[in-house]
Amino acid sequence: MKTLWIVIIISLSFLFMDEEEFYTLEDFGKVEKIDVHTHIWTDRKTFVDQAKKDNFRMLNIVVDLSKGQEYVEKQFDYCAVQKKAHPDEFEIAASFSIADWDDPDFTKNTIVYLDKCFADGAIAVKVWKNIGMVFRDKNNELVMVDNPKLDPIFDHLAKRKIPLLGHLGEPQNCWLPLDEMTVNNDREYFKEHPEYHMYKHPELPSYQEQIAARDRMLEKHPDLVFMGAHMGSLEWSVDELAKRLDKFPNMSVDLAARLGQVFYQTIQDRRKVRDFFIKYQDRILYATDKADDGDENPVALQKDIHDRWLQDWRFFVTDDTMRSERVNGEFAGLKLPKEAVDKIFSQNAKKWLGMFAD
């Protein structure tokens, strides 16, 4: 009888331990969460209404889409409208246009503009893949992110302790033919955007050259707080990403639009992926790259947002066998401890980006 009670007590202790250390799918709406990579360039509240239902807050990011400074400022105005209407749900990341790169006052004017953005509520700055992949100076030279002309801007951000968000380069799949890409979402994106499909543009820098330019920039600015958007374009290998996180202590990464590559690696070696997320739980920020420009059907948009958030939550908090349109094949969720989930889904956004600081 005594042995039976010991077995019961041990079994109950493991049951309570499981409840204490792990979230469930049902906890989704109860837990505070932050999506650090969204683009809400409209004044409607479709996106934020869904976010409130799902207990999400967001970083609304401006992007230099090579359409000039006026377009950058238009995006910022939309971000400011959303922030004013929903101050508890939004923070803003500004950007700057490099269209006036050849103007002798480019650097000075950019710093003046960014300081205005900070005064108007921006907490971070983003640079985009047009640096390194699109924009050329008056001598037809491609501008890379380690160009010395950008150094004073990055030094200014470091001095003011403003984080830099960098979408630099693209997934490694970008340099492969469509039928050799590892995930379906990359295959669909580069089929729709052949201008960014580097396999078709061998005259442009290689994947390795893009990553090397980013790394050289970080070496020059060790005090700069840097968040590598889209897993720092090292989405294809948690081993390679770990090397950069070890090398650059002021670097973190977001997961925006790259969980497909995480799913793919999980199919190959779940233990390695899970160990990576646990070891580097302080350096990873949850993100989706979801957007609203005011054109999509609001019901369909809200369903898409909710479904993505819920599927990603399931991947991190359960060990359910799952499928995703982003990859071919089944994989099991990582079932991370609560401590890691809380960091990835909210605490790291506050720590690295200063979001929603009191």
Reading the block at residue 245, the tokens are 């996180």
The answer to whether position 14 is within a domain reads no
Does some domain include residue 252? yes
CATH number at residue 227: 3.20.20.140
Q: Look at the block and give the residue holding tokens 């996106």.
A: 47
Return the pLDDT at 357: 83
> Contact 230/171 with Cβ under 8 angstroms?
yes
- Predicted confidence (pLDDT) at residue 300 exceeds the cutoff of 80: yes
Say how many domains are in the chain.
Answer: 1
The beta-strand segments (E) located in 7-101 are 33-40, 56-61, 90-95
Residue bearing tokens 């331990």: 17
For residue 22, is it within any domain?
no
Q: Is residue 23 part of a domain?
A: no
State mean pLDDT over 190-215.
96
* Mean pLDDT taken over the chain: 95
Amino acid at 290: K
Range of the domain at 193: 28-353
Q: Is the pLDDT of residue 289 over 80?
A: yes
**Picking from 138-142, 160-164, 275-279, 354-358, which range would have the lowest pLDDT averaged per residue?**
354-358
Q: What is the token pair recorded at 56? A: 């999400």
CA gap 278, 334 in Å, rounded: 10
Three-state SS at 242: helix
Q: Is the pLDDT score of 16 beyond 70?
A: no
With 0-12 CB in 10 A as exposed, 13-18 as middle and 19+ as buried, what is 294?
A: middle
Condensed to tens digits (0 to 9), the pLDDT of residues 266-287 reads 999 999 999 999 999 999 999 9
pLDDT at 85 over 60: yes
pLDDT at 7: 46
- Is 9 a domain residue? no
Band of pLDDT at residue 2, cut at 50, 70 and 90: low
Residue 292 — φ and ψ, nearest 5°? -145, 115
- Give the integer Cα–Cα distance in Å for 132 and 249: 24
Please, which residues have CB within 8 angstroms of residue 95's CB and are 6 or more apart in sequence?
61, 62, 63, 64, 72, 75, 76, 125, 126, 127, 128
Q: Is 0.75 topped by the overall pTM?
A: yes
Task: Determine, yes or no, domain membership for 69.
Answer: yes
Indicate whether 321 belongs to any domain.
Answer: yes
Instruction: Give residue-wise pLDDT tens across range 204-228.
Output: 999 999 999 999 999 999 999 999 9
pLDDT of residue 358: 65
Q: Report how far apart, in Å, the C-alpha atoms of 24 and of each of 18, 27, 148, 279 are.
A: 10, 5, 49, 21
State the average pLDDT over residues 123-147. Answer: 97
| Residue 12: predicted pLDDT | 47
- Is the residue at 208 inside a domain? yes
